[in-house]
Amino acid sequence: MLQATVLIVEDEPIIRLSVAEDFQSAGLHVLEASNADDALAILEAGWPVKALFSDVEMHGSMDGLELARLVRERWPQLHIILTSGLKHPNGDELPHNTHFFPKPYLHQTVIGALCNLLEDDKVFPGGLVKALAPETVN
């Protein structure tokens, strides 16, 4: 698996810490945000984030669905996984190519999904992310 940075957006500190520890144990680099505004500040600062893992229901100026829509629009190369125990969005509500896991979920299931998404990415100098055809991979 590539060393990749995942941005976790969760307003419940204990859940965020637990997810962050499990992601780190799986070899992922982790950045944390407690709301969408903090997440956007991290992304706008240019951190090398490859995936966003966000709760749908959270405090602040926007919920996780709105955050995912904005991220998909501004950073289309990012992988997005959403989760919620209260709201279960249908396919029409999710931005294109966004994955959803209802709570409660097994951390290993989410980590497996992230790893599958990230393993297909190849990172080139200058930060360009491109999926290569299998015959071009060394």
| Separation between Cα atoms, residue 18 and residue 122, nearest integer Å | 28
Cα torsion 59, 61, 67, 71 to 10°: value is -140
Q: One digit per residue, pLDDT tens: the chain, 138 residues?
A: 457 999 999 999 999 999 999 999 999 999 999 999 999 999 999 999 999 999 999 999 999 999 999 999 999 999 999 999 887 887 788 999 999 999 988 989 999 999 888 886 654 333 333 333 333 333
* Structural class in CATH, domain 5-136: alpha beta
What pTM was estimated for this model as a whole?
A: 0.84
First-to-last alpha carbon distance for the chain, in angstroms, is 14
| Separation between Cα atoms, residue 119 and residue 47, nearest integer Å | 19
